[in-house]
Amino acid sequence: MRNVFPYKFKMNSSRFFDEEVLACPHCGWQPDNGISRKLLRFLDKLQKQIDEPLSIACCARCEEYNDLVHGYEDSYHIKGKAVDINVPDDMYIDEFADICEECGAEGIVLKYDENIVHVDMRGQKKRYEE
């Protein structure tokens, strides 16, 4: 049966974030199955909690871009199951990470040097600091 959607992303859509924002910043690539529905639900729930528009640093990554940024070989970004979010200007990184956890984040990495919170859908709760 032929796929009736012109873009794979249309099957897994977000209320607040479009395909361009979530695609690989290097080339626009997305995983064959699109962005994880669980991750998209998390992003929508998180955006409802935050008063200002969230700024996505990176969601999907092609393998080439993942290598360029020194990402893990089997990164959740390559699978469409991770997002790096810039911490809102009026929040501390720990406060923002707590809100992410409340909204359903499974894996959380606090990147203090970049003021970014990495969130992934790994199937279990983990929280790290870099």
pLDDT in tens, 98-127: 999 999 999 999 999 999 999 999 999 999
Domain 8-129 is found in CATH 3.40.640.10: no
Task: Name the residue among 30, 110, 43 with its Cα closest to residue 83.
Answer: 43
Residues 6+ apart with CB under 8 A from 24: 30, 60, 61, 62, 65
| CA dist., res. 125 & res. 119, Å (int) | 11
Is 121:81 a contact under the CB 8 Å cutoff?
A: yes
The ranges of the chain with pLDDT < 50 are: 1-11
Domain ranges of the chain: 8-129
pTM of the model: 0.89
